[in-house]
A and B are shown apart, each in its own frame.
Chain A
Amino acid sequence: MESRWIWRILAAPGVVWLSVFFLVAMYTVLCVALGNQDTLNQPIPFWNPLDWNVGYLIETLKDFWNRGPFYTVFVRTVVFVFVAMGLSLLIGYPVAYYAARHAGRWRGLVLLLLVLPFWINYLMRMLAWINLLSPDGWGTRFLHTIGIEALFEKLGLLSQDGGWLNGQASSVVIALVYGYIPFLILPLYAALDRIDQRHIEAARDLGASPFAAFRRVTLPLSVPGILAGVVLIALPMFGDYYTQDLISASPRTNMIGNQIDEFARQGSQKTVGAVLTMLLALVLLVLMFYYLRTTRRADLERAR
């Protein structure tokens, strides 16, 4: 008997902590978003769900419906995130594939270098690019010399020589790729590493060309890894505001995170900030539970 409740007592402090500082905190967002404001635009939360006031929510949704500023920013965010996800996959897949299948005796070192960015402060990694891409920075000069600056200008992705940090959507997207791609590569690596080599050998023995074996065996088997990695980077990208602030610093490239940051933290209207946070969380909830389900299933399979 004794041994049963001891585990519950051990779990209790952590459960209480998460209930108060996660669940109650999330509930507070709801109560502020569905509450009211005083004359100074300070939020008045309504704690009782029966009192909830959907006025501010309706107002925000109307803005979306009428293609107002929130709509523009939301569409821009979706475009940025999807382009960044696509680029990340395009770069990340061959890298993960190499590390999992062909790195040979370099594997340890390659893995170390792939994990390293995890533990480098995200803002330091952005600082590095700010130094490089300032008008007289080494990066700007390099891109000028090898002709990428001219190419980007021709494609309409850069408005002036050395203007990488002046409100360029392309810079923001590339910075997002740089920032989050490590979080895509590792789950992808794990998925590719788990694929049984014998499946591929079987396909080759049965006459498949190496490319056919890749397309019909390796690629389908790595789809769960692709999806998990893509979701894992989509979640923080949708809430990102600092990359935009640092790399562009122009409202022309504002993302939904910037909007939330302006309303909720910098504090013009916390109620509107809460409404936007709630809407973002609702949209992302699907992705969050998808990711939790896939990792849980992988855990169970490994335990078996």
Chain B
Amino acid sequence: MLTWLRNPWGRPRFLPLVAGLYILWSVVPVAIAILFAFNAGRSRTTWQGFSFRWFWQDPDLSVFHDDALQGALKHTLVLALISVLIATPLGVTLALGLQRWRGRGSGTVNVLMLLPLVTPEIVMGVALLLLFLQVFTTIGLGTPAQAIGQITFSLSYVVVMVRGRLVSIGPEYEEAAADLGARPFDVLYRVLLPLLAPAILASAAVVFALSIDDFVVTQYLSGDASTTTVSMLLYSSARGAPTPALNALATISLAITLGTLALVFIVYRRFAGAEGAEAVAAGLEV
């Protein structure tokens, strides 16, 4: 204790303690919420034994049998799929274009591309809500609007990640291909895209996870009850939820998100090497 007082920053004793306590604080509550998804009773605060009741066994109230819960899960996955299918190609082409396009306008587009990353979600939510209520009234609120909103903020993540990979690949391969007579389209299709494949896959996984976990924009652009997502259901019934089925729903959604990210991370490591995996990890920090 005395040595620590004299020199608290040397051989740290209190640092691992603080870090350990922080990690416990950040992880344990969620672990307990997951545990209660497997509670045999109706309580979310008293442990009554282990079961899969709230996943599928309960004939009315389990995630598998309750229409509201199951509908939210399905809608969440549909939105995530649409977002991946549109945001990924859109972001990859934008990244390729921005990387090589120098001169007039490129600086502005660079800032425009980064703005959604730092704009508070409520500002984007209100802006898109008003856009669909006042301008694109034919689209209106509902699934297409929700997908558009999610794509708009995920786009930047794709661009940042793919560009990071483009920088680390460097211009040599393209130049070699061009010197050997390949036309720009061939360079793109036969050299750049294969080299970028791991980064594209990783960014698709990130878009998928962002879409599943998104709340504000998705809520602002939702239409009727059929466009409720898992996040929205968590928000509307967390305080009043009658059973641990809500915990079960959150657990399923978490398993899907983490499973996808882990899978892609492993694939990425195999194809792009550890260095590439670190680049992706850095990209995730945006």
Contacts and interface: CB of A to CB of B under 8 A. Distances in A.
A264 interface: yes
Contacts of B12: 98, 102
Contact of A121 (B109, B135, B178, B212): B212
Contacts of B93: 10-11, 13-14
A287 B123 CA distance: 14
Interface in A178-223: 178, 181-182, 186-187, 190, 209-211, 213-214
Contacts of B263: none
Interface in A1-15: 2-3, 6-15
A45 B122 contact: no
Contact of A17 (B22, B90, B126): B90
B45 A131 contact: yes
A168 B121 CA distance: 25
Interface stretch (A55-63, A66-74, A149-157, A240-248): A240-248
Instruction: Name the interface size band of chain A.
Output: 35 or more
Instruction: Name the interface size band of chain B.
Output: 35 or more
Contacts of B209: 119
B116 interface: yes
A14 B126 contact: no
A280 interface: yes
Contact of B130 (A25, A118, A127, A214): A25
Majority secondary structure of chain A interface residues (helix, strand, loop or mixed):
helix
A257 interface: yes
Contacts of B282: 190
B9 A117 contact: no
B285 interface: yes
B33 A131 contact: yes
A2 B27 CA distance: 54
A24 B18 contact: no
Given A17-B151, A284-B120, A136 B130 contact: no
Given A97-B15, A117-B26, A11 B101 contact: yes
A138 B285 contact: no
Interface string A20-44: 0111111011011000000000010
B120 A236 contact: yes
A295 B142 CA distance: 35
A43 B45 CA distance: 45
B130 A274 contact: yes
Interface string B100-116: 11000000010111111
B125 interface: yes
Interface string B252-281: 011001100100000000000000000001
Interface stretch (B49-57, B59-67, B195-203, B234-242): B234-242
Interface in A240-282: 240-242, 245-246, 249, 257, 260-261, 264-265, 270, 273-274, 277, 280-281
Contacts of A181: 26
A35 B246 CA distance: 42
Nearest to B260: A119
Given A127-B33, A239-B123, A98 B247 contact: no
B184 interface: yes
Given A91-B18, A265-B125, A292-B114, 12 more contacts: A9-B97, A22-B124, A28-B127, A114-B23, A121-B230, A122-B213, A123-B234, A124-B254, A128-B33, A137-B45, A211-B9, A264-B130
Interface of A: 2-3, 6-15, 17-19, 21-26, 28-29, 31-32, 43, 45, 91, 94-95, 97-99, 102-103, 110, 113-132, 134, 136-139, 165, 178, 181-182, 186-187, 190, 209-211, 213-214, 235-236, 238-242, 245-246, 249, 257, 260-261, 264-265, 270, 273-274, 277, 280-281, 284, 287-288, 291-292, 295, 303
5 contacts: A22-B116, A102-B15, A119-B261, A120-B30, A242-B215
Interface of B: 7-10, 12, 14-16, 18-19, 22-23, 25-27, 29-30, 32-33, 36, 44-46, 90-91, 93-94, 96-101, 109, 111-116, 118-131, 133-135, 148-149, 151-152, 155, 159, 167, 178, 183-185, 188, 209, 212-213, 215-216, 219-220, 230-231, 234-235, 238-239, 246-247, 250, 253-254, 257-258, 261, 281-282, 284-285
